Structure 1
Amino acid sequence: MAKKDRIYYGWVVVVAFLFIGIISYGINYSYGVFFKSLLQHFDWSRTLTSGLFSSYMLLQCVFAILGGWTLDRYGARIVFILMGFFTGLSLLLTSHANAPWHLFVSYSLLLAIGIGPIYTVTMATAARWFVVRRGLALGIVGAGAGLGIAAMTPIAAHLVSTYGWQNAYFIMGLVALATITPCALVLRKTPTAVTPLADGESLTDTSHVVSQKQNPDGSDSFSLIQAVKTRNFWLLLSVWFLYAFCLHLVLVHLTPHAIDLGTGPMKAATFLGLIGGISIPGRIFMGRFSDIIGRKQAGIISALFMAGAMLLLAVGSKLWLLYLFSVIFGLSYGGIDPPIVALIGDAFGTRHMGVILGVLVVGWSAGGAAGPALAGYIFDVSGNYVYAFLAAMVAMVIATILIFLVRQSRR
């Protein structure tokens, strides 16, 4: 029997990705905190203010694909070193923007280079290090998004109210430079650089699991071309579009919506922080739960609760309903991600998962661009977000149906 490592190195990778995610996702999802300040400073409509974030999301997909391609060939370390540099540079330049086009270059373009590959690279790499506990590992890595929202949105709100939005971006840029690159330096290229066995287990311990989930070295994995020819690929691409449509609509417009209802800016930001904090147990629990009850079942449950939360947001305007929405949405948003990503690994294998995830992120980026833009347009036309929130509810109902249709076998 092979001797187990005292601490399996895959867990070191998971912790590094967790900290990288806290900073990157915290920056990414704090845009709603800056929304009103940008709206007033540049005298924009909500459609145009949303368009800045939407253009960033569209550009993300390009660099998600490039990040996945680079990961498959050169490993995660070089990708994250570049990401740390461009994220910091983006925010430092954004802090000095004095014209709208400056923001579209410094924020939309450069931040897309810096943060665009985050999801693809962290999830694909973590999936390669695990088979037995893949759902749990992905849940912990994904918790970086929740922690980032929970930590960074109130901090960003405090910085904006105290120092102004430009100085707030400058400080966040320095934080990105000081944290992401050091975390990247601990990463190694492949699991086989440490142990050839998945999850650090002996062959005796895991042989029954490997036989169920295919070979951990990816010998049964799909190439990108093979994956694109399957129904599963297009179903999952559509699910990600709809999920991102709903999620980013909320993350960009929930804070200005709360302010419109009479909530102060600091308290309005706490709703995003609550969503992020509550999503953490949702991610970890549902990631592990998906290993037990199945990826599809876990994804369906989470998608249905997201739809219900959006209905609540559309019909409720009381403060306590915003808190209730934040709790339900946070749990379900946290819960849907790990089983869906684990389902991708189960369906296509992990050898080419970097580039496959990168291409699937096209759907994610398109949805993340469409949701905020549509909500901004609806507000400019109608003066409220009711129909935008209902559209997000319908999107998640459709996503539930598509998850049900995904086949879990590879052939």
Structure 2
Amino acid sequence: MTSPNTLDTSTARPPRHRFFHGWLVVAGAFAVMFVGFGCAYTFSAFLEALQHDFGASRGEVSLVFSLAGFLYFGLGVFSGPLADRWGARRLAIAGMVFVGLGLVLASQARSLTQIFWAYGLGVGLGVGASYVPVLGAVQRWFVRQRGFASGLAVSGIGVGTLAMPPLASWLIDTLGWRDAYLALGVLAAVVGVGMALLVENDPRTRGLGPDGDPPKALASTALPPGASVREAVGSGRFAGLYAACLISSFGLFVPFVHLVPYALDHGVAASSAVLLLGAIGVGSTAGRFFLGGLADRMGRHYALPLMSAGMALSLVVWAMSGGLWGLALFAFAYGVFYGGFVALLPALVMDWFGGRHIGAIIGILYTSVAIGTLIGPSAAGFAFDLTRSYLLPILVAIGANVVAAGLLLAMAQRGRRAVQSAF
């Protein structure tokens, strides 16, 4: 028998940690994506200089980004399973080394072909090795706040898009494009590798459960619950999500490559044109940070089609704009919905298929984005070379997002009817 003033430790709940270590994992993921995607999205700032120095067409130069984009989404099919087996930290460190090395080698290139291999392979392999693993790691550390945490982590992409292109433009004006690539490469290796050390795969290795709750009665070596890769990939949900992502991605990254050249073609000063990528970054950061938390409350399966519809509407603004302020409005709005889309996608995958093989499942899903990224930006460049206009690529991007929104909404409605019929 215990006295009234004595705590019965047999029934007391384990104390909550004041600071949940999962937020350090989020910080590491944020930094890895800031460095990787920030460096990748500086490409538009280099496009004119590369086109001038190597006497290349806009479509030919755009192929460099398309290769990098194909790799950093397509390689998730390998890096995801490797992270499930080896841990996300090792993959993130290797990825940051590849990004830095690729940029350093690009600074020494003497032909567009050498840029193609140095930048395309270096940045592509680097982001591809790190992106899906750190995304998967964040999903395992959270349940109740998964949308918010995922949005905060991937907001590193938005902040990188805000900060890195203006930095690259300043470096190009000050040092020339070669030394600009060299400086970015050193930055990527030092900051990226240092922050990648914060990434950890599973809260149970620290005796924690998701969100800082006490861990459930599972052996520390047990796999997290969830579908196998075969079960997930063979499901109708995955097929619909894959199709929607594939269709949407044909236009997803066209603004990241061609918005600055479009603005220059319409008389916008170079110093202002590069800031348009920053506007995408501001919007993207806001979308990832705020829409992720909002979707936790309204339902992520309904929020995702709204993101595709929002991108379609913002692309209409681009098609109708030629001045700086209209393009800035488009860039910010597009960034908001693009950021929300990227934040919600991995969280929705975790909702539907669990965490057992989250890295592998996200990696396979992102091959859809890889295909679209390989085709979309370069096709837009070649379309411009033929027509001297970006109208056709913009209209294709609008249509792709409308179709993707319809597919995602149909899946959400079908899931709702299935839940209702179960009761």
Short-chain TM bin: over 0.9
Equivalent residue number for residue 82 of structure 2? 70
Q: Is the 8 Å Cα contact of residues 241 and 368 (structure 1) preserved in structure 2?
A: no
Equivalent residue number for residue 18 of structure 2? 6
Q: Is the 8 Å Cα contact of residues 315 and 386 (structure 1) preserved in structure 2?
A: no
Correspondent of 1:173 among 162, 166, 185:
185
Q: How does 1:15-30 map to 2 (within 5 A)?
A: 15-30=27-42
Equivalent residue number for residue 396 of structure 1? 401
Q: CA deviation at 1:255?
A: 0.6
Equivalent residue number for residue 254 of structure 1? 259
Correspondent of 2:234 among 208, 229, 237:
229
Correspondent of 1:141 among 141, 153, 156:
153
Correspondent of 1:333 among 326, 329, 338:
338
Deviations 1:171-208 (A, max 9, x none): 000001111111122333421111342110247xx99x
Q: How does 1:2-401 map to 2 (within 5 A)?
A: 2-202=14-214, 220-401=225-406
Q: Give, in whole Å, the separation in 1 of the partners of 2:150 and 2:199.
A: 17
Q: Is the 8 Å Cα contact of residues 218 and 349 (structure 1) preserved in structure 2?
A: no
Q: Give, in whole Å, the separation in 1 of the partners of 2:181 and 2:211.
A: 39
Q: Which amino acid aligns with 2:364?
A: V
Which sections of structure 1, spanning at least 5 residues, go unmatched? Answer: 208-216
Q: Give, in whole Å, the separation in 2 of the partners of 1:95 and 1:308.
A: 38
Q: Alpha carbons of 1:7 and 1:20: their partners in 2 closer, same or farther (altered >3 Å)? A: same
Task: Report the secondary structure of 1:3's partner residue.
Answer: coil
Q: Is the 8 Å Cα contact of residues 61 and 359 (structure 1) preserved in structure 2?
A: no
Deviations 1:144-166 (A, max 9, x none): 01100000011011111222111
Q: Is the 8 Å Cα contact of residues 303 and 400 (structure 1) preserved in structure 2?
A: yes
Task: Report the secondary structure of 2:278's partner residue.
Answer: helix
Q: Give, in whole Å, the separation in 1 of the partners of 2:187 and 2:200.
A: 24
Q: Give, in whole Å, the separation in 2 of the partners of 1:182 and 1:260.
A: 40
What's the TM-score once normalised by structure 2's chain length?
0.90
Q: Give, in whole Å, the separation in 1 of the partners of 2:51 and 2:199.
A: 40
Equivalent residue number for residue 5 of structure 2? none
Q: Which amino acid aligns with 2:247?
A: L
Greater radius of gyration (CA): 2
Q: Which amino acid aligns with 1:145?
A: I
Quick one: percent identity of the two aligned structures? 32
Question: Are 2:417 and 1:405 equivalent residues in the alignment?
Answer: no
Deviations 1:317-360 (A, max 9, x none): 12221121112112111122222221111111111010111111
What's the TM-score once normalised by structure 1's chain length?
0.93
Q: Give, in whole Å, the separation in 1 of the partners of 2:80 and 2:224.
A: 19
Q: Alpha carbons of 1:62 and 1:278: their partners in 2 closer, same or farther (altered >3 Å)? A: closer
Q: CA deviation at 1:170?
A: 0.5
Q: CA deviation at 1:243?
A: 3.4
